[in-house]
């Protein structure tokens, strides 16, 4: 691990509304006013494989998907990595679509999805 590097303690999440670009009010959201703030304290994600150190915590993805989509919606993740978005989307009865540049991560995504399927049945 490189030395003299500040640890990043935050992740910036940008949420846009199609018809209401710059606002704190969203047309499609599932939370009541006062129940969701703009600072979420969430622990780091579990390491899935040694070569990928930027796995999203499931709770982060869950917070976004639960609050900004409905069951049956399609969730797109253009940078899937190890597939956390796909796993959480499935758990929350959403459909998912994604892209991933690195083939070895594609295999990890499929393995994680398979494990999740096996746990269901
Ligand atoms: C920060 S990681 C995403 C981690 C993911 N959220 C998870 O929980 O595992 C970003 C991923 O984007 C992939 N990536 C980078 N550029 C890409 C591109 N142009 N198209 C698709 N995937 C890309 C990288 O290979 C890397 O796995």
Pocket of ligand 1, beta carbon within 6 A? 54-56, 79, 81-82, 84, 99-102, 105
Q: Which two tokens stand for residue 114?
A: 């398979």
Q: Where are the alpha helices (DSSP H) in the chain?
A: 58-68, 84-91, 103-120
Which two structure tokens, joined as six digits, stand for 1? 């691990």
In this predicted structure, what is the pLDDT of residue 22? 81
Tell me the average pLDDT across 3-15. Answer: 90
Residue 13 · residue 39 · CB < 8 Å? no
pLDDT exceeds cutoff 80 at 104: yes
Ligand 1 center to 34 CA (angstroms): 33
> What is the CA(32)–ligand 1 centre distance, in A?
32
pTM for the model stands at: 0.89
Range of weakest confidence among 23-27, 46-50, 59-63? 46-50
Question: 8-121: which CATH number, 3.40.605.10, 3.40.190.10, 3.40.50.150, 2.160.20.60?
Answer: 3.40.50.150
């Amino acid at each position: 691990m490189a030395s003299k590097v500040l640890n990043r303690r935050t992740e910036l999440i940008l949420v846009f509304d199609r018809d209401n670009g710059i606002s704190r009010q969203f047309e499609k959201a599932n939370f009541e006013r006062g129940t969701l703030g703009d600072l979420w304290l969430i622990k780091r994600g579990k390491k899935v494989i040694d070569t990928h150190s930027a796995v999203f915590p499931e709770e982060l993805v869950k917070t976004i998907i639960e609050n900004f989509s409905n069951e049956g919606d399609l969730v797109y993740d253009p940078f899937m990595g190890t597939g956390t978005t796909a796993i959480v989307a499935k758990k929350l009865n959403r459909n998912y679509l994604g892209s991933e540049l690195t083939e070895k991560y594609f295999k990890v995504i499929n393995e994680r999805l398979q494990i999740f399927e096996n746990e269901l049945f």
